[in-house]
Structure 1
C-alpha cells in the first residue's frame, strides 16, 4: 500500500511506476484505490488514478467507493463497516492477482481523515506499507523528521507492515508561495533553484532504519502538457488546430518586447503568449515554424483575432507546420494569472505522457525489492509487452554496440539516435551532412550527446570503393559503378557494417524494404548454416508478446524453407526470452484438410520436427486453434502447441503480411519489426510510418542481435 505523506507528492505517478515495474517482471499485478478523492481541480467524475490505470494498461482495477459514501460512514462512526466493504470489493476484484498496488488517500483539506483510513485499510488488507513523500521546500533533515512523524502515526518503526519509503520529485524547483507546484514560467527551467538532491537524501537516510525503495529525481519532461490541455483549461477558441493534440509545451514566454529581443525565445516547445493584434509576433512565429522550429503553440490574448490579410500571409505555415494557434478574451496580465491555476496533473487520456511517467518511475524503484515480490509466486510467467520492452532495453545496454542509421537527416531518426544513446541502448552513427543534421536537431529541440556520431558521406565515401569492388568482384563490379552505388547512404552504411566499423544497420523510415535489404543480401550475405533470410514481427498483444514469421521477405517458401523459417523464429524467440511454442499456420488443422497448400505446411512441420526435436512445433493449425484454448480442445486436443502458441509461422507472405497488419490495426497494438533472421550481421528494416519509439526499439533489437553473433 502506497501511503502519501502530504499533498502533491505524486502518489498517482508512483502508483503507475509501481505497476509498470511489476509488469516488467512478468507479475500478474492489479491496482486498487479504495476511496475516490476530490481536490481543488477535480470535484467530480471517475476516480482519477483508477481511470488512468484502466486507460493505460491491461489491468481492470476494482471501482473505488465514492468520497461522499466514505465520508458519511466515517461521520456516522461506521468505519469498521466501511473497511469491511473495502475488503469485500478488494477480494472480488483482485482474485487472480499476484501483487496488488493499493493507493492510499492523500491527506488534504478535503480529507482530514486520510491517515486514519489509510492505516485502517492497511491493517484490514494485511498490506505492506510504503510511504510516498517528496522534499518540497524541506531540507533533507526536515524531510527525515517529517517521515519519522508519519511512521509514528502508523505504529512506529516496529510495525512489521512498514517496509520502506519512496521519495519522489527530488530536486524539483521550489516556490515559496506554493512549494508543491512551481510557477508555470519557471517549471521547465533546469536552472531553477531546488532544495534536495538524490545524494543528499540518500545520505540523510543512510543511518535510518527506514529503507528507501525509490529515490526519483525531478524530470520536467514528465509534466509537459499538450497544447490541447491548455486550450481546454482556457476555453480557448482554436484558430488553427495543427498538432494541438500532440504538441508539448516546454515553457511559457510572454512576447512583450520587440522581435529582435524575442527571437531567442522562439524555441521548440515554447508557448508564445502575445496580444492578438501583434501581427509582427504572429508572422515571426510562423516564419520560425516554416524554418522547422516546432514552437509549442501560439496563444493570442485580448480577444483580438488576427486580420484576414495576416492569416492569409501565414496560411502555408499554419497548414504545413502543425503550429497550433488559439485565442482567448483576457488580456496578457489576466492570462498570466489564469495560467497559475493550470492543473499539471496527468490527464487520463494522455497515453504518451502516462507511458513516459510509468517507465521513468519504474526505472528508479529498487529492482531487488520488485524481484523479491515477483519471486514469491510460483505461477509461470508470460512475457508482457512492458516486460518485453524493458528486457530489450536492458539486453541492448549489456550488448554495448554501435548501429549505423543511413537516414541521418530524418527528424525521427535523429530523435531516436539521441534517445537510444542517452538510455545507453546503443551508440548511433548518423550518415548525412553534419550542418544539416545539427540544424534539424536544433529545430526539434534534440541534444546529440557523446553517444551519437555524425559522418559526412561526401568525406568518407571514397574509402569504401575498393573494398566494395573486392566484395563484388565475382559480379564484375567496377569502381565507377561502385561509386555510383555508394551515393546511396544505405549502401554506404551496409559497407561500414561489412567492414566491421559498426555492429548493425537500421533503415527504412524513408526507404523501402527492398532498398534496405538488397544491399545487405549483396554485401553481408547469410550467416553460416543459414539457408535463407527471413523475418519476424514481435506482436505486443495486451497480455503477452507473440512472434509472427515470415511477414516481409519470402513470397512463397517451399516446405524446406518454411521449416527453416520455423526454426529461425523459434531460436529468435529463445534469444529474446519468449518460450517458443511454434504453430505452423494453415487453413486446416491436423489431417482434416487436403490440398497442395496444406500439404506443404504438413511437410514443413515434419521437417522442422526432425531437424529440431528439442522444439515444440506442431501443424498444420488454424489460427484460432493455435491461439484459443477452447478451440484447441476440440480441434487439436493432443497438440503440445495448440491453444498456447507463441510463435506463428505463416505459409506464405500474402497470408503473413495480411494477418499481421489486420491484427495490428484492428487491435490497435504495437508491432516491432520486421527483424531479419539468417543474416551474417544484423540489418533491420523500419516501416515508413515508424514512430520514434519504433526506431528506438529496432535499434535495440539490432544491438542485441549483434551481441548474440559475437
Structure 2
C-alpha cells in the first residue's frame, strides 16, 4: 500500500473537511492507526477544528503537536522574509517525524484562510511533491453548471500535472442536488484514468450550530443551555423587528431569531411557539442591544418546566449581530454526531469507496524533489553512521563542510593533514572540529602498514615497499588505503585534486565489483522541481556500446538506490530511427544491450535531450514511449557531451550537481568537482556513507548465505 495522500482544494469554500473525514473513515477501517497531518493550521489556540475532529474520532498516530508544522501567521512571516526553503524543510521534517509512527499519513492541505490565495495552489502542489504524496483534488461545484465543472476539473488536472503532481482522483463537491446527475455524466465523459466523483451540497453541513453561533458572536447564554439544544443546526436568521403576529408568520425550522432585548412580547411569543405543535421549531433567540429581560419575565420563564430553545444575549445592535451571525463558519466537531453521520453518508453514497481504496493502494508519487532527496540522504546516513575520510583538509570548504557533517551526525569523519596546521586554519575560520580525528600521513604508524599492503597488491607493476612508502605521503593514496583495509568505510576527495588524482588509487587497489566491466560515474542534478541522474560525465571519454550499456545499468541502479525511479534515456543527436552514423549506431546497440541484460528496466534510445525531458516533444518524436518526456536517468554518449551538459545545466538552470558519484568500485570512493560548494560536499559525504551502508548490508547477506550453505 502507498503510505500517504495529500488532499488539496483548488479554491476556497470547497467543503474539504467533509472529504477529509470520508477518506479518514475509509483508512481507519483498513489500518490500525493512521497519521493525520496538516502542514499549516489557522492557529493552535484555539486548537484547529479539523485536528480536533480527527483526534476526537480516530485513534491517530503521534502526539497532537506532531500533527501540524506551522500556523498561518508563521507561514506568512517566513514567506515575507523570503525563507521559503526553511518553510518547506520545516513541513517535511514535521511530516517525516509523524510518518515514522504511522503506516499511512493523510495530509490535509491549506484552506485558503491566510496564505495569499494567488499563491496557495502552487504552495499546496509543491508541498505534495516534497512529501512524495499523490493528490486528491477537491473542486468547488457550488453554483456551477456542468460545463463550468468540466472546465474546472480540466484546469485542476492540467495545473497539478504541470506542477509535477501525481493525481489520484478529483472530487467535485457542493454541487446543487438538482444538477447532480447531469454534472456526473459530464464529468464521466471527460474522465481519464483518474476518476471524477461528484458530491452534492448538503445544506445542514454548511450551517453552524447554536453553540458555534454563540461562540462566534460572543453571546451570553441566559436560558436553555442544554447540549442537545446548543448543538442544533441554525438554518436561517429571522430578524424580529415587527409585531409578534408578523414575527410568528416568519418563523422557520432552525431559525435564529434576533430581537432587541426589551421586546418581551417577541421573546415570550417565540418560546411559546416552540411549545406548540402548530409552529416551526426555531433554534434560538438572540436578544440584542445589551438589554436583559425584566425580573418578572425571568421569574415567569423560570416557572416553565424547561426552556425549549436557548436564549442568548449580546451587546451589539440587531443589524451588527445579524452580520456577525452570517459570518460564523460551519465546522465539523467531534460531538456533532448527526452532522458527522450526514457527512459520511453523503461521501460514501457518491464516492466509490472500493475504487478509491484501490487507487490509494496502488497510486504512488514518483516525484523526487531536491528537498526530498537531500533530506532523505542526510537522514539515511544518520541512521547508521559510517566512517568517511576526507583527505583535503587544506581546503576551507572541506573544513566548513566537516563541521556541518559532525554537528548533524551524518558520519564519523577523519581529516588527513598536519593536525596543528588544520587546527590553526579551523580556528581562523571559526570552525569547530571537535570530535573529528586528524591524521598526518607523514607521521602515522599506519603509513608503513599501508605501504606494505600496497606494494604487495602492485608488485606485478613493479611497486616496492620503499616506493610505496613514499607514495603513501599522498593523501589520496593514504585515504584510499584506509578504505581498502577497513580503517574507513568510504572516501570523498576532489575539491582540490583532479578526478584522475582522486580515482587512480582506487582503480589500482580497490578495483571493480564482480560482474562490473567498467567504473563510471553519475551526477545527481537537483533542479528546482525534480532530481535527474546524469552519467557518465566524469570518467570514461569514449565508451563503446557495451560500456554504454554497463553505464546505463549501473546508473539506473544508483538512481533507484537513492529514491529516483529509473527511466533511462540513451542520448544522441537524433531520436528513434531518424538518424544514422557511427555514434547513433553505438547508442542504438547500447539500448538493445540494456534491454537484453535488464528487461525489467525502462529504457529508450537513441533520443535527443529535448525528447527525453519535455513531455510535448517526447510525444511528438516517440509517441507512446514510457520514457520520452519523463526520463530520470540520462546516459550521454561520451564524456565531452556529458561534462559540458551537466555544467551548462548547473550554471544556467541553477541546479545543484551532487557528484560525481562513482559506481562499480568494491568500496565507496567519490570524487568532487573542484568547483564544488559546501552543500555539494555535505551531500556527497552523505551519499558515500549510504553506499558504505549498502556495502556492509551486502557483505552481511553474503556471510549469512555462506553460513547457511546457500
TM-score with structure 1 setting the length: 0.52
Counterpart mapping for 1:211-226 below 5 A = none
Answer whether contact 1:406 1:431 (CA < 8 A) is retained. Answer: yes
> 596-605 or 390-399, which moves further after superposition?
390-399
What does residue 458 of structure 1 align with?
Answer: 442
In the alignment, what sits opposite 1:383? Answer: 368
1:465-491 Cα offsets, whole Å, 9 max, x none, are 211211211111123322222221111
What is the distance in 2 between the residues matched to 1:93 and 1:504? 49
Question: Deviation at 1:22?
Answer: 8.4
Q: Choose which of 448, 455, 468 in structure 1 pairs with 2:433.
A: 448
Residue from 38, 43, 49 that aligns with 1:4: 43
Task: Select the residue among 645, 657, 663 that pairs with 1:671.
Answer: 657
- 1:592-628 deviations in Å (ceiling 9; x for gaps): 1110010111111111111111211221111111122
Aligned equivalents of 2:563, 2:590: Cα separation in 1: 25
Structure 1: which 5+ runs fail to align? 38-45, 61-80, 82-89, 100-114, 118-152, 161-373
Partner in structure 1 of residue 542 of structure 2: 556
Cα deviations by residue, 1:329-353 (Å, 9 ceiling, x for unpaired): xxxxxxxxxxxxxxxxxxxxxxxxx
The 2-side partners of 1:494 and 1:446 are apart by 26
- 1:543 is matched with which residue? 529
Query: Structure 1's 92 and 641: CA in aligned 2 closer, same or farther, altered over 3 A?
Result: closer
Where do 1:108-187 residues align within 5 Å? 158=335
My pick for the range that moved more, 421-430 or 696-705, is 421-430
1:158, distance to aligned residue in structure 2 (A): 5.0
1:630 aligns with 2:616: yes
- Kept in 1, the 8 Å contact 2:366–2:565? The answer is no
In structure 2, distance between residues paired with 1:528 and 1:377: 36
Structure 2 CA distance for aligned equivalents of residues 601 and 155 of structure 1 = 60
Q: Shift of the alpha carbon at 1:155?
A: 9.2
| Residues in 2 aligned to 1:685 and 1:659: alpha-carbon distance in whole angstroms | 18
Indicate how the Cα distance of structure 1 residues 30 and 508 shifts in structure 2: closer, same or farther if over 3 A, else same: farther
8 Å CA contact retained: 1:422, 1:449: no
Matched, 1:433 2:418: yes
2:558 equivalent to 1:519: no
> Which residue of the partner structure matches residue 390 of structure 2?
405
1:654 equivalent to 2:650? Answer: no
- 1: CA distance between counterparts of 2:534 and 2:558? 11
The answer to whether structure 1 residue 581 and structure 2 residue 581 are counterparts is: no
> Alpha-carbon deviation of 1:554?
0.5
Shift of 1:375: 7.1
Separation in 1, partners of 2:564, 2:442: 43
Written as runs of structure 1 = structure 2, the 5 A alignment for 1:15-54 is 16-17=88-89, 19-21=91-93, 34=112
- Give per-residue Cα distances to partners, 1:104-138, cap 9 Å, x unaligned: xxxxxxxxxxx979xxxxxxxxxxxxxxxxxxxxx
Task: Give the deviation of 1:421 after TM superposition.
Answer: 2.6
Aligned partners of 2:366 and 2:564 also within 8 Å: no
Q: CA deviation at 1:397?
A: 2.1
Q: What is the alpha-carbon distance in structure 2 between the residues aligned to residue 23 and residue 664 of structure 1?
A: 30
Equivalence for 2:552: 566
Q: Post-superposition, which runs of at least 4 consecutive aligned residues in structure 1 deviate over 3 A?
A: 4-37, 46-54, 56-60, 90-99, 153-160, 374-379
Does the Cα contact within 8 Å between 1:31 and 1:50 map onto a contact in 2?
A: no
Give the match's secondary structure for 2:693: helix
Distance 1:50 1:613, change over 3 A: closer
CA drift of 1:511 comes to: 1.0
Note the C-alpha offset of 1:398: 3.0
In 2: Cα distance, 1:614 partner to 1:35 partner: 47
TM-score between the two structures when normalised by the length of structure 2 = 0.52
Deviations 1:417-457 (A, max 9, x none): 2222332221111111222222222333332243x222122
Give the whole-Å Cα distance in 1 for the aligned partners of 2:121 and 2:630.
Answer: 31
Give the secondary-structure state (helix, strand or coil) at the position aligned to 2:403: helix
**Aligned CA-pair RMSD:** 4.5
Contact 1:557 1:652 in 2 (8 A): yes
In the TM superposition, what whole-angstrom CA distance separates every residue of 1:358-404 from its partner, at most 9, and x where no partner exists?
xxxxxxxxxxxxxxxx9799353311111111111122123421110
C-alpha distance in structure 1 between counterparts of 2:461 and 2:513, whole Å = 20
- Say whether the 8 Å CA contact 1:650–1:656 is kept in structure 2: yes
Between the aligned partners of 2:369 and 2:523, the Cα distance in structure 1 is 15
| Pairwise CA distance, 1:495 | 1.1
Distance change (3 Å), C-alpha of 1:705 and 1:17? closer
Match of 2:408 among 423, 444, 451: 423
1:566-615 residue CA offsets vs partner (Å, 9 max, x unmatched): 11111111211221111111111111111001011111111111111121
SS at match of 1:457: coil
CA distance in 2, matches of 1:463, 1:489: 15
| Greater mean alpha carbon deviation, residues 598-607 or residues 537-546 | 537-546
| Contact 2:521/2:535 (8 A) holds in 1 | yes
Aligned to 2:686: 700
CA displacement, residues 61-106 of structure 1 (integer Å, 9 cap, x when unaligned)? xxxxxxxxxxxxxxxxxxxx9xxxxxxxx9999873789xxxxxxx
Determine the C-alpha separation between the residues in 1 that align with 2:556 and 2:120. 38
User: Does the 8 Å CA contact 1:19/1:30 hold for their aligned counterparts?
Assistant: no
Kept in 1, the 8 Å contact 2:540–2:638? The answer is yes
Measure how far apart 1:53 and its partner are: 6.8
What do the CA deviations read for 1:520-578 (whole angstroms, capped 9, x no partner)?
11121111111111000111122221111001110000111111111111111121122
Q: Distance in 2 between matches of 1:375 and 1:447?
A: 48
Structure 1 CA distance for aligned equivalents of residues 614 and 360 of structure 2: 28
Structure with a larger share of its residues in helix: 2
What per-residue deviation string (whole Å, max 9, x for no partner) do you get for residues 180-213 of structure 1? xxxxxxxxxxxxxxxxxxxxxxxxxxxxxxxxxx
Deviation at 1:34, TM superposition (A): 4.5
1:72 is matched with which residue? Answer: none
How far residue 670 of structure 1 moved from its aligned partner, in angstroms, is 0.8
Q: Secondary structure at the match of 1:458?
A: coil
Q: Tell me if 1:685 matches 2:671.
A: yes
Cα deviations by residue, 1:128-161 (Å, 9 ceiling, x for unpaired): xxxxxxxxxxxxxxxxxxxxxxxxx99987589x
Unaligned segments of structure 2, at least 5 residues:
1-39, 46-70, 79-85, 131-142, 144-151, 169-214, 218-329, 338-358, 697-710
